[in-house]
Amino acid sequence: MKTKFVALLLFVASGAHANSQTSNEIVTSGQKSWKAFQCAALAGKANLGQQYIDAAFNIAFENGEIFLAAFRAGKLPLETQSKWPAALAVKEGEAAFVFGAAFAIAKNEIDEKPNDMKSLLGEFNLQGCAEID
């Protein structure tokens, strides 16, 4: 796992995979990543189980690395940063730090929602969290 994570960070830092993506694909990756962080936070608050949280994180990291590398490589103008919090599209720092900050923002947003299970499950389903890919 540690080796895979280190390889992921090196891949993100290189920006190599961003070169083969169109601007629309990159923006879509950013949107999927942000949604997946929100879904991970919802799954955690609703106590749906670690498998939902892990699946959402995997999607968030996979798509986030594409978006972040493209942004850092100058492939996207500032106004096309999709739904990512603008403060997270930084030029420096490890991707893991950026993704941790993204999750913290998503979690804070979700933590403001009511704690009743019906509302949380409704939000989870409304956001399409069970079907994100």
Residue 112 belongs to domain spanning: 23-131
Instruction: Please report the pLDDT score of residue 90 as a whole number.
Output: 61
Residue 2 included in any domain: no
**pLDDT at 114 (0 to 100):** 78
**Residue 1 covered by a domain:** no
**What does pTM read for this prediction?**
0.74
The structure tokens listed for 40 are 């991970």
Residue 12 lies in a domain: no
Instruction: Work out the burial of residue 127: count CB atoms within 10 Å of its CB; fewer than 13 is exposed, 13-18 middle, 19 or more buried.
Output: middle
Domain assignment present for residue 84? The answer is yes
Q: What is the pLDDT along the chain (133 residues), one digit of tens a residue?
A: 333 333 333 344 444 444 567 878 888 888 889 889 999 998 998 888 899 899 999 999 999 998 888 888 888 766 665 556 655 556 667 888 888 888 998 999 888 887 878 888 877 777 778 777 5
Q: Tell me whether residue 93 is in a domain.
A: yes
- Which residue type sits at 84? W
Per-residue tokens: 48? 């749906």
Residue 4 domain-assigned? no
Burial code (b: 16+ CB inside 10 Å, e: under 16) for 74-90 equals ebbeeeebbebbeebbe
Q: What is the CA radius of gyration of the chain?
A: 15
- Residue 14 domain-assigned? no
Distances in whole angstroms, Cα of residue 17 to Cα of each of 27, 36, 91:
14, 20, 17
Q: Is residue 110 part of a domain?
A: yes
Q: Who contacts 101 (Cβ-Cβ below 8 Å, separation ≥6)?
A: 85, 87, 88
Number of domains composing the chain? 1
For residue 128, what pLDDT is reported? 77
Please tell me what DSSP assigns to residue 76.
S
